[in-house]
Amino acid sequence: MLVSLFWLWLAFALGVYLYRLWRRVTKGPKSVREARAPEHDETGTAATPPAPSAPVAMSVPPAPDAGPSERTGLFAAPSPDDRTPGQGARPTVAVALQGIVMPCGLAPVARPDEGLLADYRVAFVTDDADAATVGAAVGDELERLGYAVASTSATEAVARRDEVVVRVTIYPRPGEALRGDGPLFPAAPEGSVGIEFTT
């Protein structure tokens, strides 16, 4: 009985194996030939294979608006007056006053203590004219450069041209002017006049 079952199982397994082998031989190459052979239409002419479809462009939704900044403390965004080089579009005094001819013998004052703000706060001093003469002459020069000059006090004015703003301060006694604990005009001669331009 067991011998008969063994031979029956062997015959069945051999039949399955031969059937799969026959399917592989007859279907495999035909499938390859069909894939490679060009299709023909009803007239017998080889049909042109369809062109590959163009890639579909993906639309990326815009980033959501972050809204007003909520940064405070040490992470707060700098105000325009506190910006240092590279932090914004604040122009240097040299750029803002390009083309100016300093009147009344005004000479630049070196102030190393200004640090990164040295390009945005520039001081001049002269002993060739009084404060009123210096102020009027500087106002004329600023207007010649296209600035609209408006006085905010007897010794201060604001010059505006497009988006550029220059603050001008005159010091009738520059030797007495201080910023923090240091002199604003170190070694200013007696009877001189100082002026500071700030952007």
pLDDT by residue, tens only, the chain of 199 residues: 667 777 777 777 777 777 777 777 776 554 444 545 555 555 555 555 555 555 555 554 555 555 555 776 666 665 655 544 444 578 999 999 999 999 999 999 887 667 778 899 999 999 999 999 999 999 999 999 999 999 999 999 999 999 999 999 999 999 899 887 788 888 889 999 999 999 9
Report whether 85 contacts 119 (CB < 8 A): yes
Lookup: tokens for 137: 């002459």
pLDDT of residue 146: 96
Residue 193 DSSP SS3: strand
Residue 109 DSSP SS3: strand
pLDDT of residue 49: 56
Buried b (16+ CB within 10 A) or exposed e, 130-146: ebeebbebbbebbeebe
Q: What residue spans define the domains of the chain?
A: 1-30, 89-198
> Can you name the residues that pair with 169 across neighbouring β-strands?
156, 196
- State the pTM of this model: 0.56
Q: Using alpha carbons, list the distances in angstroms from residue 101 to 50, 113, 175.
A: 75, 26, 24
CA proximity to 123, closest of 24, 25, 16, 195: 195
pLDDT of residue 178: 87
CATH number, domain 89-198, options 3.30.310, 3.30.70, 3.30.460, 3.40.1350: 3.30.310
Buried b (16+ CB within 10 A) or exposed e, 38-76: eeeeeeeeeeeeeeeeeeeeeeeeeeeeeeeeeeeeeee
